[in-house]
A and B are shown apart, each in its own frame.
Chain A
Amino acid sequence: MSERQISEESRPRLAAHRRLKFDAARNSWTIQAPERVFLLDEIAHAIVSRCDGKKTLRQIVDELCATFEAPREVVAGDVQKLVQDFAGKGVIAP
């Protein structure tokens, strides 16, 4: 898996045939993917739901800083880590 930093100018999106779905039975957001399911916590959902292929990583970080009133370097680190992880698993196209 690529350990390269994903550029703040990239516009991540869910890869094809990955579905973001709210699961009422578990009261949790999920990603449905080929032969896998990922359960998302609140932070992961906040990040993934903004990966729409239009917003840049920089804009996503800015939005989350405002929403969660958290320092930019902390949010940027979390976003970078999660997007890289999901890119490695083929869930997000960076």
Chain B
Amino acid sequence: MNGIAPPLALLAELTHRCPLQCPYCSNPLALDRARDELETETWLRVLTEAAALGCLQVHFSGGEPTARRDLETLVKQAADCGLYANLITSGVLLDEARLARLVDAGLEHVQLSFQDSHDAGADRIAGFAGHRKKVDIAGKIRATGLPLTANFVVHRQNLANLESMIALGTALGAERIEIAHVQYYGWALRNRAALIPTRDELADATALVERERARLAGKVVIDYVVPDYYAKRPKACMGGWGRRFLNISPSGKVLPCHAAESIPDLVFENVRERSLAAIWENSDAFNRFRGTVWMREPCRSCERAEIDWGGCRCQAFALTASAANTDPACALSPDHGRINELAAAESAGPAPPLIYRRHSN
């Protein structure tokens, strides 16, 4: 080790293929094609390398990771080398038999996504009639004994149902419920005006989450992600660039976060060409925003530099055209007032039609 601490977790984006068409899709604008996806053998090697490098967990994600027929093989490899295997899925391609094979392979936890609390709303947001299937598969997941996280992405078009979303997660036996406001990068940025809530709607939602947390204490954990545009301080995105996480894209590019490809002047190395350890420790993309030496003011002299790590690089680029600027989610950013005004104006206006994410677009 050359002084760079090992990563805690690997986000393995197995594929960008997905039957859902969510308007807040977090995959990059340019999707990796199925024929460019890493082959099974390369993933097996990468999982072994990730464990040796110090990763303790692997999050199998996508797109829809169950679209990969070799998922069981990859889960088994993860378990065999001591990585705690988590599946982040929409659930719509899962059935009982596949679930049993995944459990046999050593799967430890499932995070299941929902788009709303009821089928009409959820299917409209997802652009896919999958809500009932999700509810059904949640029961089958719990029946295997696997712990379940129910994930709800929230925005102005479903926030009124927040209480019934939490009730659904609880009824499904989730031990953890994640309420995540949409983060506006990539595809979601195009739909910002259709999705961003007003400040008052956000305040109501936050108060409701606090009440539900207190009511469910000791039974269900509620994790809550607030939208950056109304924050005073930015989130410590990824726990800091190149500090805790690495993300591998379907075609093998190693990224400091899943949205990093939105920053145009970074070159991402590929696991087909170099070891994971070499990329983590020595690649330009990981070192560019690692630590605090790259920071400009107001981050450079900020007492929170090693708490927030400057916020999100992708958001800084998307909203200020430079990834080395302070994330405008921070009240100390000169661009903060402007994004507050944007959020206020867009959320107060009528919601434009949703632009769905289709694999073809």
Tell me which of B6, B84, B217 contacts A19 (CB under 8 A).
B84
Report the nearest B residue to A19, measured CB to CB: B84
Chain A nearest Cβ from B175, distance in angstroms:
6
Stretch of A23-31, A60-68, A69-77 that contacts chain B: A23-31
Instruction: Decide if B54 touches A37 in the complex (CB within 8 Å).
Output: no
Tell me which of A16, A21, A26, A88 contacts B147 (CB under 8 A).
A16
- Once the chains are docked, how many angstroms separate the CA of A32 from the CA of B106? 13
Interface residues on B, range: 20 to 34
Chain A nearest Cβ from B280, distance in angstroms:
11
Instruction: Decide if B54 touches A17 in the complex (CB within 8 Å).
Output: no
- Once the chains are docked, how many angstroms separate the CA of A30 from the CA of B55? 12
Report the nearest A residue to B176, measured CB to CB: A34
Instruction: Decide if B149 touches A23 in the complex (CB within 8 Å).
Output: no
A17-B147 contact given A1-B217, A2-B218, A35-B176, CB 8 Å threshold: yes
- Once the chains are docked, how many angstroms separate the CA of A23 from the CA of B51? 9
B127 within 8 A of A: no
Instruction: Decide if B109 touches A34 in the complex (CB within 8 Å).
Output: yes
A90 within 8 A of B: yes
Chain B nearest Cβ from A90, distance in angstroms:
6
- Once the chains are docked, how many angstroms separate the CA of A21 from the CA of B51? 12
Instruction: Decide if B54 touches A26 in the complex (CB within 8 Å).
Output: yes
Q: How many chain A residues touch the partner (CB < 8 A)?
A: 18
Instruction: Decide if A35 touches B86 in the complex (CB within 8 Å).
Output: yes
Report the nearest B residue to A4, measured CB to CB: B218
- Once the chains are docked, how many angstroms separate the CA of A70 from the CA of B102? 46
Tell me which of B53, B54, B147 contacts A34 (CB under 8 A).
B147
B145 within 8 A of A: yes
* A-B residue pair count with CB separations less than 8 angstroms: 51
- Once the chains are docked, how many angstroms separate the CA of A17 from the CA of B149? 13
B interface residue numbers (CB < 8 A to A) = 6, 8-9, 52-54, 56-57, 59, 82, 84, 86, 108-109, 111, 145-147, 149, 175-176, 217-218, 221
Closest 4 CB pairs of A and B: A25-B54, A32-B84, A34-B109, A25-B6
Instruction: Decide if A34 touches B6 in the complex (CB within 8 Å).
Output: no
Tell me which of B53, B109, B221 contacts A17 (CB under 8 A).
B109
Chain B nearest Cβ from A31, distance in angstroms:
9
Residue picked from B9, B56, B82, B147, most chain A C-beta under 10 Å: B56
Instruction: Decide if B56 touches A21 in the complex (CB within 8 Å).
Output: yes
* Inter-chain contacts of A32 with B (CB < 8 A): 56-57, 84, 108
Chain A nearest Cβ from B83, distance in angstroms:
8
- Known: A23-B56, A26-B6; 20 extra A-B contacts, CB below 8 A, are A17-B109, A17-B147, A19-B108, A21-B56, A25-B52, A25-B53, A26-B54, A32-B56, A32-B57, A32-B108, A34-B108, A34-B147, A34-B149, A34-B175, A35-B109, A35-B149, A37-B57, A37-B84, A88-B218, A90-B175
Residue picked from B54, B146, B176, B218, most chain A C-beta under 10 Å: B218
Report the nearest B residue to A23, measured CB to CB: B56
- Once the chains are docked, how many angstroms separate the CA of A35 from the CA of B8? 11
Instruction: Decide if A17 touches B146 in the complex (CB within 8 Å).
Output: yes
- Once the chains are docked, how many angstroms separate the CA of A26 from the CA of B51? 12
* Inter-chain contacts of A34 with B (CB < 8 A): 86, 108-109, 147, 149, 175-176
Report the nearest B residue to A21, measured CB to CB: B82
